[in-house]
Structure 1
Amino acid sequence: MMNTEAVTPETLDWENLGFSYIKTDYRYVSYWKDGEWDEGELTRDNQVHISEGSTALHYGQSCFEGMKAYRAADGSINLFRPYENAERMKRSCERLLMPAFPVERFVEAVRETVEANEQWVPPYGTGSTLYIRPYMIGVGDNIGVRAAPEYLFAIFVTPVGPYFKGGLTPSDFVVTQYDRAAPYGTGASKVGGNYGGSLLPGTEAKKRNFSDAIYLDPATHTKIEEVGSANFFGITHDDKFITPKSPSILPSITKYSLMYLAEHRLGLTVEEGDVYVDQLDRFKEAGACGTAAVISPIGGIQYGDDFHVFYSETEVGPVTKRLYNELIGIQYGDIAAPENWVVKV
């Protein structure tokens, strides 16, 4: 196991990083108390010191975001659509009665944190990135079921390798009987409880040699909603990009970026709608998308006794590959980005 305390940028093998925590130099911290946020600061301390009565520990008052910083060919650093992450975190906070961190301050805090850890941003061409984790938790002395008296907003960063070793590789998934979220619950918010509940079905899926579990809509169990912690998309035989629409799905920034690129760069028809699990034959390709993996091509889906294969279990479909190359090209600055998608650090 890697001793993260001893790791330095000089000792890292940038091309062979895993997707795991490495302690970097600085993290950003700001506290909310008496109705307002303090000025915030960078600190070297990677330990969080909170009251034993904090609502984050007992009542799940916590939310987070996932982002990346990319080293461009000219040595500059790109952030991909950070304002979208700020807005989504704002919605998550509102759902849990937490005070939203102002959008402009959020983006500036991300830039400040990445800049302070500039030496940890992997070099261009290694396939590695700097993963960014903003989060907010309810803290302070409390015991009753109520909103916290104080809040902590923080950002830490860690260098990570590509989700795929050796390029894009299709994965197989299995439909689970468990629900990811309630019909009118917190599914559309990026809150900690959604992920705690996914650990068991995800582990059971891996024991059966699947990459992860696929969750159906909690109301009828007939429609695909999410693939593990990622959004689903499918490419129909007549070149439509279809992705589920539901109030209990987390709105993936990667998914909406792919929807735009599918329509405006690839010329596909794009639809958000129902994806019935017993009608998978309509798709020639399928994938899961999110910040960590960008796109995870789906080779096949196990549903009960039926196993449906899309394009291939070993090869990536041509449309999926084009979407992936277009998106990562934009993120690294090799392909022109739509307006306001890339923010320089």
Structure 2
Amino acid sequence: MGKKTDIDWSKLGFDYIKTDFRYISVWKDGKWDEGKLTEDNMLHISEASTVLHYGQSSFEGLKAYRTKEGKVQLFRPDRNAARMNDSCDKLLMPHVPEEKFIDAIMQVVKANIDYVPPYGTGATLYIRPIIMGVGHNIGVKPAPEYIFTVFCMPVGPYFSGGLKPCKFIVQDEYDRAAPHGTGKQKVGGNYAASLQAHAKAAKDGYADCIYLDPATHTKIDEVGAANFIGITKNNEFVTPKSSSILPSITKYSLLYIAEHYLKMPVYEREVFVDNLDEFKEAGACGTAAVITPIGAIDYEGKRHVFHSETEVGPTIKKLYDILYGIQLGDVEAPEGWIYEVK
């Protein structure tokens, strides 16, 4: 993409762009070093690193937003810190203290501040923290050393053509995670396990596939790499409850918004795939898209249409507008949700 001054904000996709600085810190001999910013976007690690052989790694994704007044702010980075540490517990990696996690993100955003897209462009600065096992180790055991790194890049709006419903297919021959496995953690292996199913869905003309619970294949777990939300005909906000669903920060934010801003009853419960007709609207939510409206789900040769295959439902639109408005500083946020980058 070249220099930041050359960026056409209106033409950004979700692609890697090398920005000026990234943060790196090393855990060795039982402690983290102070960490530093570097211009080097290449990692130098041992060929015996556990991240390469055994997938000992976790990552997060969050964004920096520029407000109408020109301020730059983060959305709930403390929740990303907590979720990364939950992943670290699962994979026997050292915690990244919340203070260190947020400080690293602040440093990276400030060092690349000119890459934060202007308000009104629909573009944002995407931030990717990663922790991985490195060092010389060939046995199946936790690594002797770890790298925590954070990089960022400007990305375009997820909906280049506006907020449009997408269609999905239930593929119950694939699981993204095992019962009591790593489905609740944001670890690299979950995404490697999803590539084949996604490729098949895309080839068949769908935005992505829907995964059912791995134990019984009767309940909705995730929609591709996102969480499912549904609006019932009784105007309730519902999202699945399962031991193999990633706890989406966007989902829990929408649960709060539905209850406190829209005064809706909210439920986190099992969502049976045979009972999709209880929903009048549906969506997939996550950091990248906020909400992808679900127009239709195909399951066992039948199509279930929500609201419309071409128009966004009114409640999904309201939820999207409020959450994105909070992130951009246009809607008042609940206390503690916004961190200003100064």
Q: Given the two structures, how large is their TM-score scaled by the length of structure 2? A: 0.99
State whether structure 2 residue 197 is matched by structure 1 residue 201.
Answer: yes
Aligned to 1:285: 281
* From 7, 14, 17, the counterpart of 1:12: 7
Partners of 1:277 and 1:245 in 2: CA distance? 13
Instruction: Give the structure 1 partner of residue 337 of structure 2.
Output: 341
* Secondary structure at 1:165 match in 2: coil
Task: Supply the RMSD in Å over aligned alpha carbons.
Answer: 0.5
The one-character-per-residue Cα deviations of 1:196-222 (angstroms, maximum 9, x if unpaired) are 000000000000000001000000000
Q: Distance in 1 between matches of 2:121 and 2:331?
A: 17
Task: Work out the CA distance in 2 between the residues paired with 1:64 and 1:94.
Answer: 13
Counterpart for residue 231 of structure 1: 227
Q: Distance in 1 between matches of 2:83 and 2:219?
A: 24
Q: Which secondary structure state, in structure 2, belongs to the residue aligned with residue 319 of structure 1?
A: helix
Listed as ranges, the matches of 1:87-98 within 5 Å are 87-98=82-93
Q: Deviations over 1:269-293 (max 9, x none)?
A: 0000011101000000000000011
Structure 1 counterpart of 2:257, from 261, 267, 289: 261
1:328 aligned onto 2:328: no
For 1:213, which of 209, 212, 227 is the aligned residue? 209
Say which SS state the counterpart of residue 274 (structure 2) adopts: coil
SS in 2 for 1:183: coil
Aligned residues: 340
For residue 164 of structure 1, what is the aligned residue in structure 2? 159
Is 2:220 the partner of 1:249? no
* Distance in 1, Cα, partners of 2:149 & 2:241: 31
1:22 pairs, out of 17, 25, 34, with 17
SS in structure 2 opposite 1:279?
helix
- Give the Cα–Cα distance (whole angstroms) in 1 for the partners of residues 200 and 288 of structure 2: 21
Alignment of 1:126-165 (within 5 A): 126-165=121-160
In structure 2, how many angstroms separate the alpha carbons of the residues matched to 1:52 and 1:9?
34
| Distance in 2 (alpha carbons) for counterparts of 1:164 and 1:234 | 20
Distance 2:16 2:165 in 1: 25
Q: Could you list the runs of 5+ residues in structure 2 that have no partner in the other structure?
A: none
CA distance in 2, matches of 1:140, 1:299: 47
Match of 1:308 among 282, 304, 328: 304
Local SS of the residue matching 1:320: helix
* Counterpart residue number, 1:72: 67
**Counterpart AA for 2:105:** V
1:166 deviates by 2.5
1:174 maps to amino acid: I
CA offsets, 1:125-174, max 9 Å, x none? 10000000000110000110000000000000000001001210000001
CA distance in 2, matches of 1:238, 1:304: 26
When normalised by structure 1's length, the TM-score is 0.98
CA distance in 2, matches of 1:166, 1:210: 17
Task: Report how far residue 247 of structure 1 moved.
Answer: 1.1
SS at match of 2:148: strand
Q: Which residue of 1 aligns with 2:290?
A: 294
Identical-pair percentage:
63
Q: Note the alpha carbon deviations across 1:7-37, whole angstroms, 9 max, x for none.
A: 1111111122111100000000000000000
Q: Report how far residue 108 of structure 1 moved.
A: 1.0
Q: Please give the alpha-carbon distance, in whole angstroms, between the structure 1 residues aligned to 2:100 and 2:132.
A: 17
Q: Secondary structure at the match of 1:278?
A: helix
Structure 2 Cα separation of the partners of residues 166 and 301 of structure 1 = 21
Q: Which runs of 4+ in 1 moved over 2 A?
A: none
Structure-2 separation of matches of 1:323 and 1:317: 10
Corresponding residue number in structure 2 for 1:188: 184
What whole-Å deviation, never above 9, does each CA across 1:104-128 have from its counterpart, x for those lacking one?
A: 1101110111000000000011000
Q: 1:343 and 1:60 mapped to 2: Cα distance?
A: 32
